[in-house]
Amino acid sequence: MRRGRYPFIIGFLAAPVILYVTFVVLPYVEAFYVAMTDWRGLSPNYNFVGLDNFAGLLDNERFWKALRHHGVLLLVMPLVTILIALVFAFLLNVGGGSKQGQMAGIWGSGFYRVVFFFPQMLAIVVIGVIFGRVFAPIDSGLINGALNGLGLGPVLFMADPDLALWSIIAVLVWQGVGFYVVLFSAGMASIPRDIYEAALIDGAGKVTLFFRVTLPLLWDTIQVAWVYLGIAAFDAFAIVQVLAVADGGPDGATTVIGLEIYQQAFRESYFGKASALGVVLFFLTLTFAALTLRVTRREAVEL
């Protein structure tokens, strides 16, 4: 029986492993190789240049700008998104207190779940177009139209170097909160209601329930959310490409590594340099995920 099991397992896994190696692993290996060449993408001829493309990044001002922007995104976007999503999820699942012996969310929680999740149903390009109109510096812009009516506008959200990146972050938070409300709600649903009931009997208020009961028991889910959001912070190309002015402007104020890869590859035809940026992005993302899982690791809370 044992001898017949292993051929079955190998046969069952062979196809997906082959597909994964062919369409995931090999392209990564190819990208690493192209990163060490001067290939322009238009000819089969190229020269092997070793680490020159990586060394060139050290003198590339736009690369360092993009790296600083990712640093801001990594610090702000996950923190704000998780905090907002946690508060909303807590209100939707526990905020209503005990009703008929069961913990319940606030009134209308089912409707709010649909509303919060709605942005997840929109493509990121559509969200970029929508917020292009929201941030428009004219009366047709949703925000500036109201501000102009009050004599306070216009505010140049995407044209002001000091505001452009923060406007991008606000859009990413708005787009991401709904998914993490659902994720944290699923995590809270797995917490035994008896624990909440016992805490209420002991006189715990909602703040105590949130910090002393919900957060510790939801920590593994928060850890996963932080990793996902960090990866999303490294993958902000689409919203920047659609929403930012002048290809990561103004004056490079919103550029990210993904946008620099696009520029090098498809605007300037330096596929070797673009692949070097891609390799750097790969290792940055991998390092972030590993460090986050290591730093945020805690002993599991047994129920």
- Mean pLDDT of all residues in 174-185: 92
Query: Does residue 98 register a pLDDT over 70?
Result: no
Amino acid letter, 203:
G
For residue 103, what pLDDT band results from cuts at 50, 70 and 90? Answer: low
Work out the percent of the chain whose per-residue pLDDT is above 90: 44
pLDDT reported for residue 154: 84
Tell me which DSSP letter residue 119 carries: G
Cβ neighbourhood burial of 205 (10 Å; 0-12, 13-18, 19+): exposed
Torsion from C-alpha of 256, 259, 261, 267, nearest 10 degrees: -150
- What's the average model confidence in pLDDT over 5-33? 86
Residues 6+ apart with CB under 8 A from 175: 119, 120, 122, 124, 127, 239
Sign of the torsion formed by the C-alpha atoms of 166, 168, 169 and 173: positive
**What angle is formed at CA 171 by the lines to CA 170 and CA 175, rounded to 5 degrees?**
120
Calculate ∠ Cα 126-246-139, nearest 5°. 60
Residue 278 C-beta-side C-alpha neighbours within 13 Å: 21
Domain annotation for the chain: domains and CATH numbers: 57-295 (1.10.3720.10)
Greater confidence (256 vs 197) lies with: 256
Tokens standing for 273? 């340099």
Q: Is the pTM of this model over 0.85?
A: yes
What is the reported pLDDT for 272? 93
Give percent of the chain above pLDDT 70: 93
> For position 277, what pLDDT does the model report?
95
pLDDT, greater one: 234 or 192:
234
Average pLDDT over residues 174-203: 84
